[in-house]
Structure 1
Amino acid sequence: MALFITEECINCDVCEPQCPNTAIYMGEEIYEIDPHLCTECVGHHDEPQCIVFCPVECIEIHPDHQESQEQLLAKYHQLTAKN
């Protein structure tokens, strides 16, 4: 389950540096999360750090990117594999 940032985002810049996968980036108007890079911090932390640090609670589970913990862990391994 990738996460996404809702329109309530205030562009406070807190979430972006917390993402260990660099999945968060500045979109046209608000920060966005690349679902192909988001592992909900599985493999890095016990809970998504963007949600932990977001002061306005505008980060939710993306309804179009439902993934199990096993799928998120596999994505983590793929993203962190050394070539």
Structure 2
Amino acid sequence: MRALFAFSVAFIFSASALAGNISDNKDMTTRYSEVVDSKSVKNILQNAEMQRLHRDMTHYAMSETGMEARLRMMSKEGRAYHNALEKKQKKAAK
């Protein structure tokens, strides 16, 4: 019985220590927000290459063309484009 109790206490402490070490990726979100803030939303949305990739990604979905577009949209520019598009949609919804 003591061994089971000691094991459960050790498990709880190790799990709480592991949970404390997991970051909430604030540095990643600030990096992408800096990219969006560095350019105006209007300029980002007028990027013809990003518009084409977004159209291919949404139109072709899970096909090879769509997946290639998804991979190319995972860059900093692609994330900035998505953030700008979301901001534009939120402003339009208000």
TM bracket (short chain): under 0.3
Higher helix share: 2
Higher strand share: 1
Task: Give the TM-score, by structure 1 length.
Answer: 0.25
Task: Give the TM-score, by structure 2 length.
Answer: 0.23
RCO comparison, higher one (Cα < 8 Å, 6+): 1
